[in-house]
Structure 1
Amino acid sequence: MDDKAAGTYATLAVIHGFLFKEIYDFADQIRTVNLAKGNVRFAPVMYLAASLENIDRMPQQTFEQIVEKYLELNIAHPF
């Protein structure tokens, strides 16, 4: 993991694969269906790749920036 950039989708995908590869066949792969949980709808698939690119470019130097980036990533819900 030392060669992975902190706070990027690519690194999150590696972690997701490591944690869930034996449970889900889609572990570490960007989702291909729209998702919702309760009344919350996550980013539509048609915008997901662009959303993740924008999130990767978000700054993460301060606590507030890290929280904002985390919230955007949760809304994107890539897996």
Structure 2
Amino acid sequence: MKDYSVKDNYYCYENSFVLKNKFEIKDQKILDSVEKNITGAILLLLQSKNFDKEELDYDFFMWLHKYIFGDIYSWAGELRVVDLIKGNFKFAHYSYLDDQMVSYFERLKKDKYLIDHKNEKLIKHLTYYITELNIIHPFREGNGRVIREYFRILLKRKNLYIDYADKERYLEAMIESPYKTDKLEAFLIKNLKGIE
């Protein structure tokens, strides 16, 4: 998303909200279009790959971000080094990101990447893990896309997927999830589907 409330000199061009990029694009609309086209193609490519043998750990998550955004941003696959605020919500402080990510992926591994969970238990745990990763918000850009792709890969092992066709309801649920997870849980109940 491009609507973070903090302008930073580390990631953005001077006096701008436009992220520094490998193409030196300084027009936000053009960058948005280029980014959408490149990441869209890479996300399609990822769907053709088999990750059944991969450990879905912290390293894999970081690799995934680098793979999706590495053609655009030099810092792809690296934890952000600035704080982020969206609306009135402040995401995790950047100096704690590594510790939080280590802890998060240790919990998820101990939970066997949800492979044994079914029905209501799966929905509850999925809601929790998606919300927590969103609150951590480890990257300067691309958090939503990498979170969605990570859980697509994780859920494919269970022959499941999340249908994001109702983008508006999903975004509304994600915005509310740090305070209350009811909408995200309801979204997942309705949109977690079996792969045919």
Q: Same fold by TM-score, threshold 0.5 exceeded?
A: yes
In structure 2, what is the equivalent of residue 25 of structure 1?
74
CA distance in 1 between counterparts of 2:133 and 2:95 reads 16
CA distance in 2 between counterparts of 1:9 and 1:36 reads 24
Question: In the superposition, relative to structure 1, how do residues 3 and 28 fare at CA in structure 2: closer, same or farther (>3 Å)?
Answer: farther
- Offset at residue 32 of structure 1 (A): 0.9
Query: Map of 1:58-73 to 2, 5 A cutoff?
Result: 58=107, 59=111, 60-61=113-114, 62=117, 63=122, 64-73=124-133
Aligned residues: 78
- For the pair 1:41 / 2:101, whether they are aligned, the reply is no
Alignment partner of 1:76 out of 130, 136, 140: 136
TM-score (structure 1 length as normaliser): 0.82
Gapped runs of 5+ residues in structure 2? 1-50, 140-196
Measured on the aligned residues, the alpha-carbon RMSD in Å equals 1.7
- For the pair 1:56 / 2:116, whether they are aligned, the reply is no
CA distance in 1 between counterparts of 2:125 and 2:79 reads 24
CA distance in 1 between counterparts of 2:63 and 2:69 reads 10
> What is the identity, as a one-letter code, of the residue corresponding to 2:55?
A
Q: Secondary structure at the match of 1:68?
A: helix
Higher RCO structure (Cα 8 Å, ≥6 apart)? 1
CA distance in 1 between counterparts of 2:88 and 2:58 reads 25
- Offset at residue 3 of structure 1 (A): 5.1
Identity of aligned pairs, percent? 31
